[in-house]
Chain A
Amino acid sequence: MSQAVETSNSGMSGKELVEASRSFAFTTKLEAILAWGRKNSLWPMPYGTACCGIEFMSVMGPKYDIARFGAEVVRFSPRQADLLIVAGTITEKMAPILLHIYEQMLEPKFVISMGACASSGGFYRAYHVLQGIDRIIPVDVFVPGCPPAPEAVMDGVMVLQRMIAENHPRPWVKNWKRPAWIKPVG
């Protein structure tokens, strides 16, 4: 910086100064650089309950390796994660716990619903299965499949990364209301 000041003192025009600064600096908006950092260091909390959880292991595993997308730091504490990946069937019994976990996560937070069961109950149109987690928490990306292939999960992560980079509006989060039937904890 001091070097730039000296040069400008030595009589460079404003345009020349901008040209010269390209070698050591770049300009951006604060929110853009925040989004850039955020999208490349998503820390997932895998909420694996069933078959999709096993397929998520593959996503973490050596062949597919989600680390290439900066999302390999798996945290099982919701306080330390910003991406909730719900992988597997959520039953009515599990619903209050899932909501509790979501509420414990700090902003900004994102949710990927992996697979048919989490997204809609899947082919379990059944008495004990929640018919989609979007009934209790806001979901950013739905990944179809039963279970989705690891490529599909990565695609879901990349869609989310684009949404973060573009600061995509998230009305589902803004308009989300806590489901009335689940009691607050504590």
Chain B
Amino acid sequence: MSMQNLENLKAELSSFVSKERFDSFKFYVTPVGDDVLEVPKEDIVPVVRFLRESGKFDFLMDVCGADYLNNMQGRQKRFDVVYHFFSSRTYQRLRVKAQVGENERIDSITSVWKCANWFERETYDMFGIEFANHPYLTRLLCHHEFVGHPLRKDYVADQQQHCSSALPLHFPPDPNWNPEGRSLVPLNIGPSHPATHGTLRIMAEIEGETIARANVELGYLHRCFEKMAETHPYNQVIPYTDRLNYCSAPMNNIGYCKTVERLLGVEIPPKAQAMRIILAELSRIIDHFVCIGANAVDLGALSTFFYLFTYREMVYSLFEKLCGARLTVSLTRVGGMAQDAPPGWFDEVLEVCKKIRAGIDDLERLLSGNKIWIQRTQGVGAISAEDAIAWGYTGPCLRAAGVNLDLRKVQPYYFYDQLDFDVPIGSTGDVYDRYLVRVAEMRESLKIIEQVAKNVPEGDYTVRDKGVVLPEKKDVYGNIEGLMNHFMLIIKGLRPPVGEIYDVTEAANGELGFYLVSDGSGRPYRLHVRPPCFAIYQSFPEQITGGLVADVIAILGSMNLIGGELDR
């Protein structure tokens, strides 16, 4: 299947570029089944233009770098720039890689794929890879006084650099910008502002109540997830993943563990799959609770928040019963779950589902027909399906714009394909539609949880491969083999084969992707996260320009921006 796609691509591409250029391209399928195309850096723009214009791929999901300083065998150049494409028509994926040497530049692909902008800036920030013809190549995550590029292998992970001040208001250069004769007032929101939920900074110039131009600054919560992942054994990365999207922590655990498991070639037992599905859907519900609750608070409806938090607490209690933690749960391990569910837990899940269903009814009575809510949200932040795809929107924000794309349906993992649920779709993509989609999604999640929790498969909660999972404590203390296995796994760590993988799950915000490179050691050589809200937030300055200041807050809340995931 995968080979066939690649052959087709090869045939079409060969007629698109000259023979000698084409001979330098490398096509291959990785052992886990990812299609890869390696091209010289000089050809990157024509190739990605072909991918777009031929209609083969409509999503640029991710761009990232990788530094092979310590791992140069078979390579000429130090860095890789890695692009991930996806087609919402055929559901195929393609990884394009280009090697870049130190002090070399690669052409920016922003002229073809506008959503590459921030991804390339991040790659420049992290690796120092320069993109020629990029419209605004500045640091994205690290502060402006930072020296060096932290994800290079020769940058020491804990070498901190202080920052002396915040940057004044700044905007990307725009040739069409003309302030002559306009009375513009600068406006700064955040990073410490109630409506920004912590760490977002919005800079704007306003003319009356209208936003004349806008820019955002990221990185106020850049806590070096990817560097931390490189310096920790595979299982110790799990707590860091909790803190990506901390509103729905288990989903990140699952996304990460699923990636490592696929690279290892481990299939987790049905009971672990069932528990993961339940946790993922519970997380989706509580994530949407926070999003809707906070969105409503920002627009003046405080009671919604209190209503919804009552139900969020119920789910916290379920998590607590499972592992002792409420928010950052680290419930999964590579190979399955950390521990089995306590007796009666699944029945409690069903009970809580009933209460949440009543809670969602309450929520709809509070908001769905509420005049003020409708006036503040309908027609605000509307985006067409075309634009949403061009920006790399995924998840509820994409579906609100009318695109039927849910990875649980189109690339089903675990046993989602055997479950009965619908994918709610909006039409206008405005804040109100996003709200409606989220509400409907919560109801679908409840449906999924009930189906799974009523028929939990029997069996073990984890695989028992001694090279992957620690033996049970009774074996560690009870027999020599268990003790040795425990010792070996702790000392050596679990070691996936050399290789790389990009794997995705449908998280609360959209496509959560992990790009993992393994060099066969006990630690990830490179782990990159494709955070769903990063791509969505990228469209924000364009979305708010020309609109009212008050709408900025409504749109911001509907995007469900989570600092931990955005800045990593």
Q: Interface residues, chain A, CB within 8 Å of chain B?
A: 47-51, 53-55, 57-58, 61-63, 76, 88-89, 91-98, 100-101, 117, 123-131, 146-147, 149, 181-183, 185
Contact = CB atoms under 8 A, between A and B. Distances in A.
Interface in B212-267: 219-224, 227-228, 239-240, 242-243, 246-247, 249
A93 B316 contact: no
B558 to A, nearest CB: 18
B316 A58 contact: yes
Contacts of B158: 125-127
A41 to B, nearest CB: 20
Contact of A49 (B199, B249, B290): B199
A98 B198 CA distance: 12
A126 B228 contact: yes
Given A51-B243, A62-B306, A129 B164 contact: no
A50 B243 contact: yes
Given A53-B198, A76-B193, A89 B160 contact: no
A181 B306 contact: no
Contact of A48 (B150, B197, B220, B312): B197
Contacts of B198: 48-50, 53, 88
Contacts of B191: 94, 97
Interface of B: 141-143, 146, 150, 155-166, 191-194, 197-199, 219-224, 227-228, 239-240, 242-243, 246-247, 249, 290, 305-306, 309-310, 312-313, 316, 326-328, 563-564
B240 to A, nearest CB: 8
A94 B199 contact: yes
A93 B219 contact: yes
A94 B160 CA distance: 13
Given A92-B161, A96-B163, A128 B220 contact: no
A49 B221 contact: yes
A57 B199 CA distance: 16
B142 A94 contact: no
A131 B160 contact: yes
A150 to B, nearest CB: 8
Contacts, number: 149
B246 to A, nearest CB: 4
Nearest to A76: B194
Query: Which 4 A-B pairs have CB atoms at the shortest separation, nearest pair first?
Result: A126-B224, A51-B246, A61-B309, A93-B143
Given A92-B161, A126-B227, 20 more contacts: A49-B220, A49-B221, A51-B242, A51-B249, A53-B197, A54-B247, A55-B326, A58-B312, A91-B143, A91-B220, A92-B143, A92-B146, A92-B160, A93-B166, A126-B157, A127-B155, A128-B142, A128-B219, A129-B223, A183-B165
B224 A127 contact: yes
A162 B228 CA distance: 39
B162 A95 contact: yes
B310 A124 contact: no
A65 B401 CA distance: 38
Contact of A91 (B165, B221, B305, B327): B221
Contacts of B166: 93, 96-97, 100
Main secondary structure of the interface of B (DSSP, over half): loop
Contacts of B312: 58, 61
Which has the most chain A C-beta neighbours within 10 Å: B157, B227, B243?
B243
Given A91-B220, A97-B166, A128 B160 contact: yes
Given A147-B327, A183-B165, A49 B306 contact: no
Nearest to A150: B326
Contacts of B222: 91, 93, 128
B224 A124 contact: yes
Contacts of B224: 124, 126-129
Given A63-B313, A146-B328, A182 B165 contact: yes
Contacts of B316: 58
A132 to B, nearest CB: 11
Nearest to B316: A58
A124 B143 contact: no
A63 B326 contact: no
8 contacts: A51-B328, A54-B327, A91-B219, A91-B221, A92-B146, A93-B222, A125-B158, A181-B162
Contact of B165 (A62, A96, A127, A147): A96
Given A49-B220, A97-B166, A123 B239 contact: yes
Contacts of A131: 160
A89 B246 contact: no
Contacts of B247: 54
A75 to B, nearest CB: 10
A135 B159 CA distance: 16
